[in-house]
Amino acid sequence: MEHDQGAHLVRMVNQIATNLSHERDAATRVRVHLEKFWARSMKQRLIACLDDPGHKLTPLAHEAVKHLAGREAEKSHASSSAHQ
Amino acid sequence: MLEYFDPNQVAPDQSFLKDRFSKDWFSKDYGTPASLSEKHIALEIDGVEIRVPEGTSVLRAAALADINIPKLCASDNLEAFGSCRLCAVQVEGKRGYPAACTTPVEDGMRVTTQNDRLARLRRNVMELYISDHPLDCLTCPANGDCELQDMAGAVGLREVRYGFEGDNHLDAEKDHSNPYFSFDPSKCIVCSRCVRACEEVQGTFALTIDGRGFESKVSAGQSEAFMDSECVSCGACVQACPTSTLMEKSVIEAGQPDHSVITTCAYCGVGCSFKAEMKGDQVVRMVPWKGGDANHGHSCVKGRFAFGYATHKDRLTTPMIRDSIDQPWREVGWEEAITFAAERLKAIQASYGRESIGGITSSRCTNEETYLVQKLVRAAFGNNNTDTCARVCHSPTGYGLKTTLGESAGTQTFDSVMKADAIIVIGANPTDAHPVFASLMRRRLRQGASLIVADPRHIDLLDTPHLADAQHLPLRPGTNVALVNALAHVVITEGLEDHDFIARRCDDQAYRDWREFIGEPRHSPEAVEATTGVPADAVRRAARTYANAPNGAIYYGLGVTEHSQGSTMVMGIANLAMATGNIGREGVGVNPLRGQNNVQGSCDMGSFPHELPGYQHVADDTVRQRFEQSWGVPIDNEPGLRIPNMFDAAIEGTFKALYVQGEDIAQSDPNTQHVEAALTSLECLIVQDIFLNETAKYAHVLLPGSSFLEKNGTFTNAERRINRVRKVMPPRAGKEDWEVTVDLANALGYPMHYRHPSEIMDEIAQLTPTFTGVSYARLDELGSLQWPCNAEHPDGTPTMHEIDFPIGRGHFAITEYVATEERTNRRFPLLLTTGRILSQYNVGAQTRRTHNQLWHDEDVLEIHPSDAELRGIKDGDWLGITSRSGHIVLRALVSERMQPGVVYTTFHHPSSGANVITTDSSDWATNCPEYKVTAVEVEMVSQPSAWQQRFDDFDRQQRQFLDAAREPVASDRAL
């Protein structure tokens, strides 16, 4: 089931990437879309897929998810340092 | 649905009224429609001077001065007909006795409405009528509400010299075939009001006057019974009838109502206003209210007649609980049920975390109730796992329109269609799903507006009688975006765009990017013909018709949104409207036809996981802080789970409890077996509904809901119109739905203290910039309000985007066509598309518990004759329908409404399992399911599917659990 859920999210983000591929700054658009509309748990699961060398992310989706991962890491770093 | 009933348009002859929206104004029949002329004419009637708009009839002018000339065939929702001759008057300097209804006012005219001659003439007319009319007034169902009786009294009829022995119609045969009204021709005076109402108001043309002279009689179709004719049972004829010839069976049984309350229909997104006519706490009949801004006195078979479900014996009246779904229910008091639910929710959050629970708000409940459920989720559950049924219908509208036009709503009023010159209808079937608006649209089409329908099916709108110009673009399911791009390509390449509008109103860079994209030859009608299946010249002609019309309006439905590119298509439509300058005035616009009564409202009220009320994103710190201050708790700044994500998380084991108010996700959501698996995975499912719906069969807590007749609140219709819902009877289970949510919040330790829904609306107004001017006092004063309603627009906003867009400039979006992954192949060679039918509503929980069943008691599979022949299928054969998701069995209906290769069914009956075969493929932006495209194979079979057999077993068991728990029903108030 775990794997299925990841594959499902990858399919969803690929679909988003395909539909936004003709926009300017497509990777940013995809990343912003995920930030605006996806739940925290879904984003985390999606980011975890980056560790799977067999993931089926399209190049654009991959770029967007990498951006997302960076931003999320920054956010959690900022909030953990705020707590210290 | 008559323009002169629009309060704004009535204005020219309302100088007599102190109160512009007076209830009395709409209670009176002024005899003929209002004239909309700006020019006023002065005349004298019985010595009273009066000024009225040019074109007003003498009958109406007199009525405005409260001089009420007797009349029978005239009614102010119908054009003057001049057949009864009762409204005869004398005009100085003119010969004879003209009918006041057909005589327009003239400057300086002097009219006499009463003298000995006129009195004698009227008595003679009445005497002839009564000589062929049964004198059973005391036992007649119209007693107390009969215009014939009133007129006999008004003209002073004292004797009928002709006797009653001559030829007459007293033995004419009655027709009781319609379940809701009777036809008794012996009472008919052949005034033609029913025939004219069917034509002018409803637009169906099912009735006619058959024969001539003495033989004249009202006839449904070709002398058929009403049920066998083309009659759609809207009831306009019943309402128009001045006698008891056409009479509601409920009035025949109960007698005349003694009081009435104005409220709003709880069926489709048109949001008709009704007078609930009552005796005690019983509804005797629902009469569409002519002061209703959405419907102007018209209705459909659902709203007018199908209200019996509210008192059906299946109504849940006691809260129930159980530990697991294989156990019988246990009836408990409210307090025990609420405590049980709250403790479970708390325990689940303690074990699985704050994000392990969520709620689904209802698109059928009121704004206030919806607002409270999402507030409960965000404030008491402490997460943003809230969603609503709009997820599965119009979420792409929200995304698409917000991206392009800056606001998640339709741009017009319904009345705006009366100024449209070209009307495009895409993926919508208004005559079935939005019937009262369809009647208005048909009126405009009869006046000569062009109609373009883009739909895989030949919908009934294309068969509108007296249609001037109709073009059908029968595209293949799933190719919407290719088609809309081709239409836009024609506009751009043939120079039909509105350069001035684009320059003034739209973002230049986005426009130039889009223009370059859309101008590419691959988007030409010729290039996409093979994809869409629509001939290129038909596309070119349609684009020219729309772009060249002074006013072009686009209406669309779920055939646009419920696709893998639903959001892209909505943006494509907005692009087309902006490119042709068809935004920002009456007669144009982008108009989503909303499905359920309050689907617009449920979206406005913050039901979506990423948006607080008023479409304000949860990540916006300023917005969130305002809500946090008002609600007294921190709000999560990350979006929550959407409905399909909740299902996935439930199956995965991270989502454990769900509170569902007034939605039936087990029947309405796609891929039923997936939904069932998700619901079965939950440790606590709380369902609040008026019936044991399909979802409730998987529940642990069952909280009885209240029908729209049992509560106060507001609904918001497809034109952003906020209408009041008023309580006409006490809630069957003792609580209005909002009170239940309040109790649950309090039990969870989050205090809510509302005494009346008006206080909830005051809170909404305080937190939602587009609602700041909304209050119950303002709604009572004005009748209804269209948001945005705030300091800038104190009386609301009938037409959006008149000066600018909420995002400043309109944004052209790039709409690349991406074919759906759901494709036909040798195994699944047909495309299934799903939809609705007039007599049933959504999952059918309401309409299946009324006589509307007589029109549609099972879902069938419509299949083209060539596909049927290939498989040896005949009408009525049992068909197995198999998709990649599942297998069901339905009966066949061979129909040429489908194109070859496409089959169609409805989802009104749970045991049909239409959604067993729909897939979990969805819109890329919003996860709105792709209901409209499923690849299937169809073959003849001899037994129900395995799913249907399992469904029947489970259904039987769950009903037994319910019956075992319930005390014997005290009074059987079922139909």
Work out the average pLDDT over B948-975.
Answer: 76
Average pLDDT on B365-375 reads 97
Contact B782, B794 (CB under 8 A): no
Residues of chain A in contact with residue B377, where contact means CB-CB under 8 angstroms, are none
Report the distance separating Cα B30 and Cα B69, nearest Å.
Answer: 10
Q: To the nearest whole angstrom, how far is the Cα of B639 from the nearest Cα of chain A?
A: 5
Q: Do residues A56 and A14 touch, judged by C-beta distance below 8 A?
A: yes
Our CA-based measurement puts residue A14 at a distance from the nearest CA of chain B, in whole angstroms, of 9
The whole-chain average pLDDT of chain A stands at 88
The residue-averaged pLDDT of B895-924 equals: 89
The helix-helix angle for B116-131 and B147-155 (nearest 10°) equals 140
Question: What pLDDT digit, counting tens, does each position of B727-774 carry?
Answer: 999 999 999 999 999 999 999 999 999 999 999 999 999 999 999 999
Q: Which residues of chain B have a CB within 8 Å of the CB of A38?
A: 639
Nearest to B925 among A8, A16, A23 (CB): A16
3-state secondary structure of B167: coil
Whole-prediction pTM value? 0.93
Using the predicted structure, report yes or no on whether residue B965 has a pLDDT greater than 60. yes
The reported pLDDT for the residue numbered A82 is 59
Cβ-contact B721, B414 below 8 angstroms: no
Question: Is residue B12's pLDDT more than 60?
Answer: no
Q: How far from A63 is each of B121, B297, B924, CA to CA, in Å?
A: 89, 57, 18
Residue B580 has pLDDT above 60, yes or no: yes
Compute the average pLDDT of residues B713-727.
Answer: 96
Residue B317 has, within 13 A of its CA and on its CB side, a CA count of: 16
| B455-481 pLDDT per residue, tens | 999 999 999 999 988 999 999 999 999
Q: Could you tell me which of A26, A34, A16, A18 has the C-alpha nearest to residue A70? A: A34
Find all residues with CB under 8 Å of B949, minimum gap 6, and list them.
none
Helix (H) / strand (E) element for B42: namely strand B40-45
Q: Residue B23 has what pLDDT?
A: 67
Cβ-defined contact of B818 to A19 (cutoff 8 Å): yes
- Please say if the pLDDT value at position B292 is more than 70: yes
The residue-averaged pLDDT of B949-972 equals 80
> For chain A, how many structural domains are there in total?
1
Q: Is the pLDDT of residue B547 over 90?
A: yes
CB contact A15 to B (< 8 Å): yes
Say if residue B241's pLDDT is above 80. Answer: yes
Q: Flag if A22 and B816 touch (Cβ within 8 Å).
A: yes
| Residue B610, C-beta contacts closer than 8 angstroms, at least 6 positions apart | A36, A37, B384, B617, B618, B619, B639, B640
**Structural domains of chain B ordered from first start:** 3-114 (3.10.20.740), 181-311 (3.30.70.20), 320-391+598-771 (3.40.50.740), 395-581 (3.40.228.10), 830-942 (2.40.40.20)
Query: What does the pLDDT read at residue B63?
Result: 95
Check whether B526 has a pLDDT greater than 60: yes
User: According to the model, what pLDDT value does residue B166 have?
Assistant: 86
Residue B568 and residue A2: Cβ atoms within 8 Å? no
Which 3-state string (H, E, C) describes B502-523?
HHHHECHHHHHHHHHHHCCHHH
Asked whether residue B636 carries a pLDDT value surpassing 60, the answer given is yes
Q: DSSP of B637-662, one letter per residue?
A: SS----HHHHHHHHHHTS--EEEEES
Residue bearing the bigger pLDDT, B7 or B608? B608
Q: What is the ipTM of this complex?
A: 0.93
Q: Looking at chain B, which residue has its C-alpha nearest residue A3?
A: B652
What H or E segment, with its residue span, contains residue B273?
strand B273-279
Task: State which residues form the domain around A72.
Answer: 2-83
Beta carbons of B639 and A8 less than 8 Å apart = no
Residue B7 clears pLDDT 50, i.e. is over it: no
Lowest-confidence pick of B63-72, B512-521, B702-711, B963-972: B963-972
The residues on B that touch A, with CB distances below 8 Å, are 355, 384-385, 513, 517, 564-565, 567-568, 609-610, 617, 619, 638-642, 645, 648-649, 651-654, 813-814, 816, 818, 924-927
- Total beta-carbon pairs less than 8 A apart between chain A and chain B: 61
How many angstroms separate the CA atoms of B764 and B94, rounded? 62
**B294 and B257 Cβ atoms separated by less than 8 Å:** no
For chain B, what percentages of helix, strand and coil (3-state, to nearest 5) are there?
35, 15, 45
Q: Which of A36, A41, A56 to mutate to test the interface with B (most CBs of B within 10 A)?
A: A41
Average pLDDT, chain B: 93
pLDDT at B898: 87
User: Are B619 and A22 inside 8 Å of each other by CB?
Assistant: no
User: pLDDT tens digits, residue range B130-173?
Assistant: 999 999 999 999 999 999 999 999 999 999 999 888 889 999 99
pLDDT of residue B284 exceeding 90, the answer is: yes
